[in-house]
Amino acid sequence: MMLAVFFAQIHPHYLTKKWQKLRSVIFCAVTGYGLIPTCHWIWLSGGFSSDIVQEFVPRVLIMYVLAVAAIIFYMSKVPERYFPGQLNLGSSHQVWHILVVLMFYWWHQSALFITNYRHSHPCPDYPLHS
């Protein structure tokens, strides 16, 4: 999927108005693609009643809230839609970048959290599902 995103981004028409919806679909698809392994991990971990799932899923949800907020700013062109030509700082693209950086920082902290959790709570030696 990432290779397809890369090839789409180097296409000469990628930044044109004609491809705006395609760019939005690509961003949404990359964001949504992470839900598949998350759901699989929840199932492998024993469902929502599992301690690790209860500890980690809220972190995943916060990451997705940041991603969705970034996409909303990117697609809606707010605030420059309401203040055309007046924003050198604070445009939707800049807000998008800030939210994406925050999202990646949050994900990095979450990766450290789950690593520390696994060091203190090793994986069970037996499969949870037979």
Tell me the domain boundaries of the chain.
21-120
Tokens of 51: 């301690």
Asked whether the beta carbons of 99 and 69 are under 8 A apart, the reply is yes
Q: How buried is 16 (Cβ within 10 angstroms: 0-12 exposed, 13-18 middle, 19+ buried)?
A: exposed
pLDDT score, position 53: 95
Q: How buried is 97 (Cβ within 10 angstroms: 0-12 exposed, 13-18 middle, 19+ buried)?
A: middle
Residue 128 pLDDT > 70 = no
**Cα 84 to Cα 87: distance, rounded to the nearest angstrom:** 7
pLDDT score, position 69: 94
pLDDT score, position 26: 86
**Cα 74 to Cα 50: distance, rounded to the nearest angstrom:** 36
Tens digit of each residue's pLDDT (9 = 90 or more) over 41-75:
999 989 999 999 999 999 999 999 998 899 899 88
Residue 30 pLDDT > 90 = no
Residue 130 pLDDT > 60 = no
